[in-house]
């Protein structure tokens, strides 16, 4: 199958750990351990965000804090653990591994994730329906460079998708989850990214609730 992204690089695992306390719970969802972050109001749980974690998994604090942020703004956020409790951080720091993505973790986890994820998605889709599309990218991106991004936009136009693309300068791949919040530029980009995603979902959910206008 053709892809519009390159293979993972070192930028995919370099991280700065953020501080805070996770507010969600770990539950079984479609038979898979899932991080669940709920909104304060029960009525808002019909608005759902599916979070597909990077190699650090959904139980990595950085990921949990972002999911909790969206939940605090009125969304039920679900993130399945397709690594089954064995994310990349369990394999870093070993002799010869360091911060290299080129080791046995990748192929084995990809195979298992492909086995676990489809049934989970089908169950969620059956309950919550389809989605629109948003891309948050950066100027400097090993896995999703400019030519790939433009190809992705061409595909969105071709299939007449509802989409939004936002590009950040001054940061690199992984900025929205693993960026250095002590860097003012990276901190702003990270916060703006989370806010933009929230705004995207707010608009999409509002559009679904607007009454049809017949002329």
What would the pLDDT profile of 3-43 be if each residue is shown by its tens digit? 555 556 666 677 778 889 999 999 887 888 999 999 987 66
Domains: count for the chain: 1
Q: Which of 40, 24, 66 is nearest to 175 (CA)?
A: 66
Highest average pLDDT, of 51-60, 96-105, 134-143, comes from 51-60
Where do the H-state alpha helices sit in the chain?
61-72, 105-128, 146-158, 175-178, 184-209
* Position 118 in a domain: yes
**Neighbour-count burial for 177-202, b at 16+ CB within 10 Å, e otherwise:** bbbbeeeeebeebbeebbebbbebbe
Q: Rounded distance, CA 54 to CA 51, Å?
A: 10
* Position 122 in a domain: yes
Residues comprising the chain, all counted: 215
> Which residues form the domain of 47?
10-209
* Position 73 in a domain: yes
* Position 4 in a domain: no
| 80-93 tens-digit pLDDT | 898 888 887 777 76
Backbone phi, psi, residue 161, to 5°? -80, 155
Least confident of 54-63, 156-165, 178-187: 156-165
Distances (CA, A) of 88 to 2, 45, 56, 84, 182: 25, 31, 5, 11, 24
Is the pTM above the cut of 0.75?
no
* Position 3 in a domain: no
* Position 215 in a domain: no
* Position 16 in a domain: yes
Neighbours of 106 (CB within 10 A): 16
Sorted by sequence, the CB contacts under 8 Å of residue 186 that are 6+ apart come out as: 170, 171, 175, 179, 180
* Position 112 in a domain: yes
Domain containing residue 75: CATH number:
3.40.50.1820
Please report the pLDDT score of residue 64 as a whole number: 95
């Amino acid at each position: 199958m053709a892809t519009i992204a390159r293979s993972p690089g070192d930028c995919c695992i370099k991280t700065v750990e953020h501080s805070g306390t996770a507010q969600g719970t770990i539950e079984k969802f479609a038979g898979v351990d899932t991080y669940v972050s709920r909104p304060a109001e029960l009525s808002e749980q019909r608005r759902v965000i599916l979070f597909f974690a990077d190699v650090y998994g959904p139980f990595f604090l950085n990921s949990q804090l972002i999911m909790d942020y969206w939940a605090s703004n009125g969304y039920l956020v679900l993130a399945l653990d397709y690594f089954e409790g064995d994310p990349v951080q369990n394999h870093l720091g070993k002799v010869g591994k360091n911060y290299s993505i080129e080791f046995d973790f990748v192929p084995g986890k990809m195979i298992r994730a492909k086995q676990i994820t489809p049934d989970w998605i089908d169950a969620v889709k059956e309950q919550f329906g389809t989605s629109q599309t948003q891309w948050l990218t950066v100027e400097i991106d090993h896995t999703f460079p400019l030519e790939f991004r433009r190809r992705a936009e061409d595909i969105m136009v071709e299939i007449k998708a509802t989409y939004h693309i936002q590009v950040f300068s001054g940061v690199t791949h992984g900025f929205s989850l693993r960026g250095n919040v002590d860097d003012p530029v990276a901190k702003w980009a990270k916060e703006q990214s989370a806010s933009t995603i929230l705004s995207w979902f707010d608009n999409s959910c509002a559009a679904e609730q607007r009454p049809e206008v017949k002329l």
